[in-house]
Structure 1
Amino acid sequence: MSTFKELGIPADLIQGIEELGILKPTEIQEKAIPFLMENGGDLIAQAQTGTGKTAAFGLPLLTKINPKSKEIQGLVVAPTRELAKQIGKQLFRFTKHSAKIFTEVVSGGDKMDRQIAALQRPTQIVVATPGRLVELVNKKALSLDAVKYLVLDEADEMLGMGFKKELSRIVDLTGQRRATWLFSATFPDSIQQLIRHCMLETPRTLAVDRAHVVNRDIDHRFAVCARDEKAAFIDDFLERRPDERGLVFCRTKAGAITLGKQLAKLGHAVDVLQGDLTQPERDKVMRSFKKERFRVLVATDVAARGIDVEGLSFVIHHQVPDQLEYYTHRSGRTARAGRKGVSVTLIEPRERAKLTRIGDQLGVVFSEIR
């Protein structure tokens, strides 16, 4: 296991990340950082959420920015507002002890005139969602002419959300860049097309072994429940852990709303995050959750993209996730910053094989709650 110093990260940035509890590099950081620090050329990295991607590209990116220049030199594009804000916050925290580098986050759902005003200030890195970035370019609110490094984070998510045209435009607008760093959990044909469009020579490719994707501080459990017994199981689980906070994931919006009502009726402080909420409504729910005004957040996978809340002790999967990545993404909301956490999957009797398959692919062992 390397240290960040051995990977080539300067001391002032190491001080910033150590204060965030980031002490040992993850697998993607060990693989990506030396290449990005020394070579800095085109990179394709296969990595899921929760693997430490932000530091893997963020730390090298910060070292390549000239703080004396007022132009936008780094551009990070992410699928959702939550993820963009999270990346922006991390970059800000990393530079606590280093030369001031100004990062601006621009995403849909926020007031555009406020973003246009903020971009009048010197800005060296922009973190953006694709749609809003193109809108701001069209309004001539920012110029991408000086961008040297383009980072596409969760590229498969962006294409899955219908941003193909916007990404193509962003790639064209940053034609003078030195390199593109692309991170994606999966590589469908659409990603291959994007890679051909945005990378000239043979890029460096990295993959994170799936068995190392899941945080080792998570205790993986499961319980066998009939569908109509699940609310009662969660009620009992919460009663037995009165001081703990966490997330419950549901597969559908209707399921999340129904479960939220059931848990509230049983006397639990709960709120729901699902795709039909407006951006102000989502923000209000997240603010309240972060301020610990309620204890349990029920969410759908899409709505929960980019959630980053400190001190969550548990994650409950109301159903077995449809995709392997969803299990990793959901579970990674607990056991942050070196703390322990538990991930509980509720399965119906015939679903044991599904869970075994997830365990085998991710290299985790599930123990049963009886």
Structure 2
Amino acid sequence: MSTFAALGIKKEFVKSIKELGISTPTEIQEKTIPILIDKKTDFVGLAQTGTGKTAAFGLPIVQQIDPNNATIQALILSPTRELVQQIKKQLFKFTKYNNHKIFVEGVYGGEKIDRQIHNLKRTTHVVVATPGRLIDLIERGSIDLKEIKTLVLDEADEMLSMGFKQDLNRILKYTSGERNTWLFSATMPEEIQRIIKTYMDPNSSRVEINRNALVNANISHRFVRTSIKEKTEAIITFLERRPEERGIIFCRTKAGTQNLTKQLIDEGFSVGALEGDMQQRERDKAMRAFKNESLQYLVSTDVSARGIDVSGLSFVIHHQLPEKLEYYTHRSGRTARAGKTGISMAFVLPNEIQRIHEIQKELNISFTETSI
């Protein structure tokens, strides 16, 4: 068993993470931290959400910041405002016992840009940003990224599948200089490989966390055969049998999300929706309620559930199987986090059984057929 000190983390950081209950490094932390702390290198990390990535790149970043230099020295890009806020909060906690304050600023859409511009006028060492809002700030000339030493692309595949491809290319071009790029992704689609080839050193270090287990091994994958007419009833029965448990139900469309949420509310379940047409304020409200457990379930589209990190979810339900394979990975990865077990339950129509076989083969997992 290694320790953070043995990986090269300074004692003031070890002290602050111990206080957060982090004492033994996870696999990705153990393999990544020594590389990122020592070498000025480009880096590619292949790992699922929930594996401890934030500390894997966050601790080396805060340790490398020169607090006496008032410029932005590191930029972290992340797909959603929820993730940006979360990373910012964690970095702040990591630096609790530092002698010199390290200033971290978060920039994302859904909040007045003037306020963020104002905040960036203060000393800022690390910026955590969503790509779209960062481009706005660059275009207004309100952010100076000339001095950055490190650029982190967190959840790179998610950023691409959310449509940030052009933004990412522009940011990578704009910041090219003496910086190192650290890219983290759960999957490696062609687009990501192209980014690595175009913008990163061909000899960059790589760490893969159990490549074959693209989907977390603590998840049990199940499916139930049903019909369009009986599907909602089957889901209701599934929930009724688990009165104490919490989970997320995934739908493919906004309309499907709204309909199912309404049906479940009518049945007396404590449930909220997350979908693309909602105002940011409503989304935040639903997220908060889910996080603080005043809502037991969330019904969500794939894109809206990006960046949800709520521990203790016992299951995810697939109201329909997702169109894209990597969505299955992202959906099911919301359960069984931090070493716990969980269920990923798909409600499938007879003509979708073929899709179950495809998912099994591609992701190297096995489904069990069950009845409700």
Give TM-score, length-normalised by structure 2.
0.88
- Percent identity, aligned pairs only? 55
Aligned to 1:138: 139
Q: CA RMSD for the aligned pairs?
A: 2.6
Report the 3-state secondary structure (helix = DSSP H, G, I; strand = E; otherwise coil) of the residue aligned with 1:222: strand
Say yes or no: does 1:81 pair with 2:95: no
| Correspondence 1:260 to 2:238 | no
Letter of the aligned partner of 2:7 in structure 1? L
Deviation at 1:296, TM superposition (A): 1.2
Residue aligned with 1:294, SS: coil
Matched residue type, 1:242 = P
C-alpha distance in 1, partners of 2:223/2:66? 50
Deviations 1:50-97 (A, max 9, x none): 343322222221211122322211101122222222222222233334
Relative to structure 1, the CA distance from residue 98 to residue 221 in structure 2 (aligned partners, 3 Å threshold; closer, same or farther) is farther
Residues 1:315 and 1:18: Cα distance change in structure 2 (over 3 Å) = farther
Gaps of 5+ in 2: none
Q: Partner residue of 1:10? A: 10
Aligned equivalent of 1:203 = 204
**Which has the larger displacement, 217-226 or 255-264?**
217-226
Cα deviation for residue 216 of structure 1 reads 4.1
Q: Secondary structure, in 3 states, of the residue corresponding to 1:325? A: helix
Find the counterpart in structure 2 of residue 35 from structure 1: 35
SS at match of 1:113: helix
Q: Is the 8 A contact 2:50 2:338 kept in 1?
A: no
Residue 224 of structure 2 is matched in structure 1 by 223
Deviations 1:6-60 (A, max 9, x none): 4333343334444444454444333322211221301123334334332222222
1:302: which partner in 2?
303
2:293 is matched with: 292
Cα distance in 2 for partners of 1:324, 1:60 equals: 32
Q: Is the 8 A contact 2:317 2:345 kept in 1?
A: yes
- AA aligned to 1:283 is D
Task: State the alpha-carbon separation in 2 of the partners of residues 15 and 215 from structure 1.
Answer: 30
- Which residue number corresponds to residue 105 of structure 2? 104
In 1: Cα distance, 2:310 partner to 2:288 partner: 10
Deviation at 1:247, TM superposition (A): 0.9
Quote the Cα distance in structure 2 between the aligned partners of 1:331 and 1:190: 23
Q: Distance in 1 between matches of 2:128 and 2:53?
A: 14
Question: Which runs of no fewer than 5 residues in structure 1 stay unpaired?
Answer: none
CA deviation after TM superposition for structure 1 residue 278, in Å: 2.1
Structure 2 CA distance for aligned equivalents of residues 227 and 30 of structure 1: 47
Rounded to whole Å, the distance in 2 between the matches of 1:18 and 1:326 is 34
Kindly tell me: are residues 268 and 275 of structure 1, through their superposed partners in 2, closer, same or farther at Cα, counting changes over 3 Å?
same
Q: TM-score, normalised by structure 1?
A: 0.88
Matches within 5 A, 1:347-358: 347-358=348-359
SS of the aligned residue for 1:168 comes to: helix
1:196, CA displacement in angstroms? 4.0
The residue correspondences of 1:64-213 to structure 2 (distance < 5 A) are 64-99=64-99, 100-200=101-201, 202-213=203-214
Shift of 1:4: 3.4
How far apart are the structure 2 equivalents of 1:348 and 1:209? 32
How far 1:260 moved relative to its partner?
Answer: 0.9
Stretch of structure 1 that moved more, 123-132 or 194-203: 194-203
TM-superposed deviation, 1:359: 4.1
Give the secondary structure class of the aligned counterpart of 1:227: coil
TM-fit CA distance, 1:323? 3.3
CA contact (8 A) 2:75 2:151 kept: yes
Q: What SS does the aligned partner of 2:255 have?
A: helix
- Deviations 1:325-365, CA, capped at 9 Å, x for gaps: 22232222223344443322222345445335434554544
Contact (CA 8 Å) 2:186, 2:214: kept in 1 or not? no
Letter in 1 for 2:262: K
Equivalent AA in structure 1 for residue 49 of structure 2: T
Helix, strand or coil for the counterpart of 1:210?
A: coil
User: Aligned with 1:330: secondary structure?
Assistant: helix
